[in-house]
């Protein structure tokens, strides 16, 4: 290329960093590599037969509607089904409080477009979802992080941060949280932390963004209520998706909020794509209408419970003292911490090229540049045999680089420091 592309790019685009995960996925497509790096669901969970049947019927009975442009808000029939779907989790809303999006990822971009000016402060967890950080960075947000432990964000530290901001005459636009089986850590917030978050948000008059793609993939323990369901004053915006329960290929996600907020989101989405695909929305609506999704959830959770257990047992068996990890009750990921002096980025090339195993480095998930000694492991996509072998390879790498003296009493609770 002969042009100087940089001279043409917007400030936001110049600040964009290529997705670490996508870069890695390219590296790991070579045969023989066991990848714990992606975030793909297990394709065995896709309802292929049900989708064949429903797609055929949608084309036979609703083609005039399903192949036409739709309204930006989303297929009214799908939104009515989503009202019922959300009711299962104690989220009581009307159709007009829902906007259908192209996956919940589009919802994150809409948030940036609607709420963020360059220099605006937002608060995120340490660690937090990499692709959300990328979006918010593109809109020029200043991201301040609050560490997690095994009960969720440390909300007493959030209280300190909000007080510091207030003392400087500043306010966070929103607090972004993934409270159920977080990507990347697998941690679930306790109900107490959820209530404390809302209490602080109310006191400091900020919004809460609850990104919740994994909630229906619970394989152990009991579910605390969604933050949205605990919120009494309409300051929470809820995002979810069918990517992990139905399939990501349909690209069906949704945002839930007060009607005035949704109206603002609709205007932002109009400029992006006019509407989400009518066809996939009609298929999802029909699938829900025939109640073909909910009965599948226990089976999907069981697949991931087995895979997660296999990974936990392999870690226990293979990893040396000084390595710790989280124990998720659902979702697709767990979080491994090596001794502090180790650097997962420095080890990655050797992991892939010598051992044939891949992971995502911890720094990608840290708004403050931390997480050098941490890594995210995905257990949903590899087979159980690959999980066993992959952890064996990873442990071999770690042992080769282990510092001579490592504490054997390291705690397993702290996710980030
Ligand atoms: C926390 C979180 N938010 C949003 C998304 C985006 O999901 P999708 O756009 O497929 O709905 C993901 C996907 O992995 C995620 O982990």
pLDDT tens string 337-379: 999 999 999 999 899 989 999 999 999 999 999 999 999 999 9
pLDDT tens for 287-312 read 999 999 999 999 999 999 999 999 99
Ligand 1: residue whose CA is nearest its atom 14: 39
pLDDT above 50: residue 162:
yes
pLDDT of 209 higher than 60: yes
Which position has the token pair 């599948």?
296
Which two tokens mark 309?
A: 């257990």
Question: Could you tell me the pTM of the whole model?
Answer: 0.94
Q: What integer pLDDT is reported at residue 406 of this predicted model?
A: 55
- Which is the closest atom of ligand 1 to the Cα of 105? 9
Q: Is the pLDDT of residue 23 over 70?
A: no
- 25 vs 102, more confident: 102
Element (H, E) at 176: strand 172-177
104 C-alpha to ligand 1 centroid (Å): 6
pLDDT at 417: 41
239-286 per-position pLDDT tens digit: 999 999 999 999 999 999 999 999 999 999 999 999 999 999 999 999
User: How far is the C-alpha of 407 from the C-alpha of 417, rounded, in Å?
Assistant: 17
> What is the position in ligand 1's atom list of the atom closest to the CA of 182?
1
172-177 sheet: strands from edge to edge: 98-102, 252-256, 236-241, 207-211, 172-177, 121-126, 142-149, 152-153
Confidence band, pLDDT 50/70/90 cuts, at residue 1: confident
How many angstroms is it from 102 CA to the middle of ligand 1? 11
* Ligand 1 within 6 A of CB of 365: no
Residue 25 has pLDDT above 70, yes or no: no
């Amino acid at each position: 290329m002969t042009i100087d592309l940089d001279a043409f790019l917007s400030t936001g685009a110049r600040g964009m960093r290529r997705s670490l995960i996508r870069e890695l996925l390219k590296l790991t497509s070579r045969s023989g590599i066991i990848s714990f790096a992606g975030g793909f669901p297990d394709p065995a969970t896709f309802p292929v037969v049900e989708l064949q049947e429903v797609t055929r019927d949608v084309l036979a009975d609703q083609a005039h509607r399903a192949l036409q442009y739709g309204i930006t808000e989303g297929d009214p029939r799908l939104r009515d089904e989503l009202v019922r779907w959300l009711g299962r989790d104690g989220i009581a809303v009307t159709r007009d409080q829902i906007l259908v999006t192209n996956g919940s990822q589009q919802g994150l971009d809409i948030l940036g477009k609607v709420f963020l000016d360059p220099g605006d402060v937002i608060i995120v967890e340490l660690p937090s979802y990499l692709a959300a950080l990328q979006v918010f960075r593109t809109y020029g947000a200043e991201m301040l992080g609050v560490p997690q432990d095994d009960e969720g964000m440390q909300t007493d530290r959030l209280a300190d941060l909000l007080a510091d901001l207030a003392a400087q005459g500043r306010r966070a636009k929103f607090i972004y949280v993934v409270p159920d089986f977080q990507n990347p850590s697998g941690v679930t917030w306790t109900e107490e932390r959820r209530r404390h978050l809302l209490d602080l948000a109310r006191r400091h008059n900020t919004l809460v963004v609850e990104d919740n793609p994994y909630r229906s993939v619970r394989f152990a323990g009991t579910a605390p209520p969604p933050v949205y369901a605990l919120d009494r004053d309409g300051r929470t915006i809820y995002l979810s998706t069918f990517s992990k329960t139905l399939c990501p290929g349909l690209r069906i996600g949704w945002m839930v909020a007060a009607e005035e907020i949704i109206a603002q989101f609709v205007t932002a989405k109009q400029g992006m794509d006019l509407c989400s695909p009518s066809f996939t929305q009609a298929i999802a609506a029909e699938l829900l209408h025939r109640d073909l999704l909910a009965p599948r959830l226990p089976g999907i959770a069981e697949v991931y419970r087995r895979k997660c257990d296999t990974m936990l047992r392999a870690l226990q068996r293979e990893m040396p003292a000084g390595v710790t990890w989280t124990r998720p009750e659902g979702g697709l990921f767990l979080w491994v911490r090596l001794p502090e002096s180790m650097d997962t980025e420095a080890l990655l090339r050797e992991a892939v090229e010598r051992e044939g195993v891949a992971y995502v480095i911890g720094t990608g998930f840290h708004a403050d540049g931390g997480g050098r000694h941490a890594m995210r492991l995905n257990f949903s996509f590899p087979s159980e045999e690959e999980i066993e072998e992959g952890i064996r390879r990873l442990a071999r790498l770690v042992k080769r680089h282990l510092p001579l003296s490592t504490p054997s009493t390291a705690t397993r609770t702290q996710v980030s420091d």
